């Protein structure tokens, strides 16, 4: 992502005004609050949902679940897609599927939504926070490599964090705001350290790196279909994998580990009730039919923001990284790295006050109460700068349709 060179003119007091003017030059004045990302139901949603109600197949079995899974596999190129109740459940399963056990540590970016870290905790494991790169807003592969070289030692056939004595069982990379991470390098680092990679592609449906879909590079990938995502099922998620054994096991674990039988209730391990209901999958099937249009519109909107911010001093628009095609799930700007939290908040106030829903990045995971004493890289300063300077802008696909 080329963070454009910051221009030197402009004064602090005018920055919020300049940002507001740039956003309004794209979206026009907002009479009503413009959400960050709203769902759009312009396809066959009613038909498919009505079909579920008419036939009575609304719950955890039905044709739409199977169809949604095969549509997802077709769209992403994953060999297996297993639909679940949300992206957090998908992450929980993904971590179990790559072998995360209680007492392990899992490398997680500190710049992420809380679900990424929580899913690690649900396994009884401990998140170990790593820094981001400015180029992608995702894990910095080189620094991850250095960090693993520094902390890892082998023991009992596992890779041990010599500083805590706990095994490090996996790495989770997250494609921030839909922008692909430097995935090839992350894969290399994981391979060098013999670590499974889980890709949290919750935000990246429709995003590709060198033509390959996000979520299909790691041992397991996950998606979210929350109401704020590019495609929604109300609530929903999916596990993606090319490994047939992992695919089978994902389905088994998400369906209470029930052994297939015409009438017997037999469960061969502790499973989860994580299966996506048919009525949600029906919505998803109709939404997926519109994915190419959603992504095209979101990319047009991103282009308009990029143009509007190109001449604004001390602000840079966040572009997709090289070699990638982003869905631009949430458009973002970065204030100059010297700007304060107070300046970010004054820009946020200015935008929200003008009915434009703008949000900061997530509070970093290592600052959250449950994770303040979790292990981490000594230097998380890139994430801290991003946290202090990043602002997400309204990004619904429909906004592209009123562009000049
Ligand atoms: C990066 C990331 N991971 C995981 C999730 C969890 O997805 P869900 O809300 O569907 O549980 C989300 C979104 O909400 C997310 O943005």
Query: Phi first, then psi: what are they for 104, rounded to 5°?
Result: -80, 170
pLDDT at 7 over 50: no
Cβ proximity of 113 and 132 under 8 Å: no
CA 77 to centroid of ligand 1, rounded, Å: 21
Structure tokens at 180: 């692909």
- As a whole number, mean pLDDT of residues 144-167 equals 95
112 lines ligand 1 (CB under 6 A): yes
pLDDT, tens only, 238-257: 999 999 999 999 999 999 99
pTM: 0.96
- Beta strand pairing status for 105-109 and 168-174? parallel
- Which one has a higher pLDDT value, 270 or 155? 270
Residues 6+ apart with CB under 8 A from 74: none
Residues 6+ apart with CB under 8 A from 142: 185
Where are the extended beta strands (E) located within 281-402?
315-317, 324-325, 331-335, 359-360, 390-393
DSSP assignment of 218-240: SSEEEEE--TTSSS--SS-EEEE
Closest to 111 measured CA to CA, from 191, 181, 214, 31 = 181
Helix and strand numbers, DSSP H then E, in the chain: 12, 16
- As a whole number, mean pLDDT of residues 172-177 equals 98
| Per-residue confidence (pLDDT) for residue 154, from 0 to 100 | 87
pLDDT, tens only, 112-126: 999 999 999 999 999
241 lines ligand 1 (CB under 6 A): no
pLDDT at 81 over 90: yes
Return d(Cα 287, Cα 49) in angstroms, integer: 12
CA 88 to centroid of ligand 1, rounded, Å: 6
Place 156 in a pLDDT band, splitting at 50, 70 and 90: confident
Mean pLDDT, the chain, rounded, equals 95
| Per-residue confidence (pLDDT) for residue 10, from 0 to 100 | 42
pLDDT, tens only, 373-400: 999 999 999 999 999 999 999 999 999 9
Ligand 1 test: best mutation among 172, 199, 201, 203, most atoms within 8 Å of CB?
A: 203
- Beta strand pairing status for 331-335 and 315-317? antiparallel
pLDDT at 60 over 90: no
pLDDT at 61 over 80: yes
Nearest CA residue ID for atom 8, ligand 1: 87
Instruction: Report the sign of the C-alpha dihedral through residues 357, 360, 365, 366, in that order.
Output: negative
203 lines ligand 1 (CB under 6 A): yes
Place 13 in a pLDDT band, splitting at 50, 70 and 90: low
87 lines ligand 1 (CB under 6 A): yes
pLDDT at 361 over 90: yes
- As a whole number, mean pLDDT of residues 356-373 equals 98
| Per-residue confidence (pLDDT) for residue 6, from 0 to 100 | 37
What dihedral do alpha carbons 358, 360, 361, 367 form, nearest 10°?
Answer: -150
β-partners of residue 132 are 139
Place of tokens 């997400």: 392
CA 112 to centroid of ligand 1, rounded, Å: 9
Structure tokens at 102: 């209680």
pLDDT at 84 over 60: yes
**10 Å Cβ neighbour count for 213?**
23
| Per-residue confidence (pLDDT) for residue 12, from 0 to 100 | 58
- As a whole number, mean pLDDT of residues 349-375 equals 98
Distance from CA of residue 372 to its chain's centroid? 22
pLDDT at 5 over 70: no
């Amino acid at each position: 992502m080329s963070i454009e060179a910051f221009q030197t003119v402009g004064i602090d007091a005018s920055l919020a005004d300049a940002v507001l003017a740039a956003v309004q030059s794209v979206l026009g004045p907002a009479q009503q609050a413009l959400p960050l990302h709203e769902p759009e139901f312009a396809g066959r949603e009613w038909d498919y949902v009505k079909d579920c109600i008419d036939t009575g197949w609304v719950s955890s079995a039905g044709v739409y679940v199977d169809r949604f899974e095969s549509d997802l596999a077709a769209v992403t190129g994953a060999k297996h897609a297993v639909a679940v109740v949300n992206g957090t459940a998908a992450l929980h399963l993904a971590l179990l599927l790559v072998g995360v056990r209680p007492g392990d540590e899992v490398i997680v970016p500190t710049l992420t939504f809380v679900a990424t870290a929580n899913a690690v905790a649900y396994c009884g494991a401990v998140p170990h926070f790593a820094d981001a790169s400015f180029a992608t807003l995702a894990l910095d592969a080189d620094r991850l490599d250095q960090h693993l070289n520094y902390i890892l030692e082998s023991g009992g056939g596992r890779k041990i964090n010599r500083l805590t004595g706990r095994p490090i069982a996996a790495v989770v990379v997250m494609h921030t705001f839909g922008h692909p991470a430097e995935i090839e390098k992350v894969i290399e680092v994981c391979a060098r350290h013999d670590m499974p990679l889980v890709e949290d592609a919750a935000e990246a449906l429709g995003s590709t790196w060198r033509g390959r879909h996000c979520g299909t590079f790691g041992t397991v990938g996950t998606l979210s279909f929350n109401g704020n995502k590019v495609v929604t099922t109300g609530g929903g998620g999916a596990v993606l994998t090319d490994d047939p054994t992992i695919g089978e096991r994902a389905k088994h674990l998400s369906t209470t580990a029930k052994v297939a039988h015409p009438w017997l209730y037999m469960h061969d391990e502790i499973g989860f009730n994580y299966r996506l209901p048919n009525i949600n999958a029906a919505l998803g099937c109709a939404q997926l039919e519109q994915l190419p249009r959603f992504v095209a519109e979101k990319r047009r909107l991103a282009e308009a923001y990029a143009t509007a911010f190109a001449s604004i001093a001390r602000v840079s628009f966040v572009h997709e990284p090289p070699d990638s095609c982003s869905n631009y799930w949430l458009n973002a700007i970065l204030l100059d790295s010297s700007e304060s939290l107070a300046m970010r908040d004054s820009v946020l106030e200015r935008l929200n006050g003008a009915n434009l829903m703008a949000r900061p990045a997530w509070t970093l995971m290592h600052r959250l109460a449950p994770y303040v004493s979790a292990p981490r890289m000594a230097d998380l300063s890139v994430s801290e700068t991003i946290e202090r300077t990043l602002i997400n802008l309204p990004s619904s696909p429909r906004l592209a349709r009123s562009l000049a």
